[in-house]
Amino acid sequence: MQDIHQLTPGQNTSLADIPADGGEYHSAKKKAEKEFNELRKEFRDLQAKLYAEDKRKILIVFQAMDAGGKDGTIRAITQGVNPQGVRITSFKVPSKLELAHDFLWRIHLAVPSRGMIGIFNRSHYEDVLVVRVDNIVPEAIWRPRYEQINNFEKLLSDTGTLILKFYLHISKEEQRERFQERIDIPAKNWKFSFGDLEKRKQWDDYMAAYEELLQETCTEHAPWHVIPANQNWYRNLAIERIIVNCLRNLDPQYPPPEGDVSGVVVN
């Protein structure tokens, strides 16, 4: 069954028509937090089996506007997992070496191997977002990247990678409040950048870029999920539900011992 937050390939996407408030979907915060904690325990167990089985791999992609909650989401859902089986990659401004290659080169280096869960904090999608809004490269360069990304993700899917893509959907007002918190609370000052305020002025341009991105790169093998993210408690629950459900469907199992261990006694 398709999750309520999963987009349908080929369907037009209007973020203005999708609630950013989790209260539209769940009104009981304590009940949601209890379910999330139970799901997180199940995720730990399934992730341990996936790692031990060493057959399949999962790629989880997070995209959001600044202050959208990518870091907090990753901390929440991965708490207590076996760190050997999870690799988190944050993609910053490309280095000189990375710029000397095609835009997917650095991405391919970070995709998960067998048994692993790879988590991208930002991703290859920056190359059809920032470069578009800031006019870093002409449209003739960034527009073909939609198809190139779809082909890249199809390759990953065909070779055993389950891809889960999440756009953390916050409102412009919620972003304002989170930016103000970063200014008002000393322990959060380090998160604030004056550049964030310049990006905020481009909100409408980013919404248009995201809407086209979501429409052009939502595929059967790598669908997008638009997660209402104004409330952390609902955001975490909605994402953990999707991840755990996918792992349940994979049904990873601990592999059998290499030989007959019955009667073996370690002295």
Q: pLDDT tens-digit profile of 19-36?
A: 999 988 998 999 999 999
pLDDT on residue 142: 97
Residue found by looking up tokens 């987009």 in the block? 7
Residues 6+ positions from 56 with CB-CB distance below 8 Å: 50, 114, 115, 160, 161, 162, 250, 252
pLDDT on residue 121: 97
- Rounded-to-integer distance, Cα 213 and Cα 14, Å: 11
pLDDT on residue 69: 97
pLDDT on residue 263: 82
Beta strands 86-90; 57-64: pairing state? unpaired
How many alpha carbons fall within 13 Å on the CB side of residue 111?
Answer: 19
Residue-range domain boundaries for the chain: 15-250
Superfamily of domain 15-250, CATH level 4: P-loop containing nucleotide triphosphate hydrolases (3.40.50.300)
CB distance 68 to 168 below 8 Å: yes
pLDDT on residue 1: 65
CB distance 170 to 210 below 8 Å: no
Note the pLDDT tens digit of each residue in 179-212: 999 999 999 999 999 999 999 999 999 999 999 9
Spell out the per-residue pLDDT of the chain, length 267, in tens: 679 999 999 989 999 999 999 988 998 999 999 999 999 999 999 999 999 999 999 999 999 999 999 999 999 999 999 999 999 999 999 999 999 999 999 999 999 999 999 999 999 999 999 999 999 999 999 999 999 999 999 999 999 999 999 999 999 999 999 999 999 999 999 999 999 999 999 999 999 999 999 999 999 999 999 999 999 999 999 999 999 999 999 999 999 988 888 888 998
Q: Is 13 left (phi over 0), alpha (psi -120 to 50) or beta?
A: beta
Q: Is 160 left (phi over 0), alpha (psi -120 to 50) or beta?
A: left
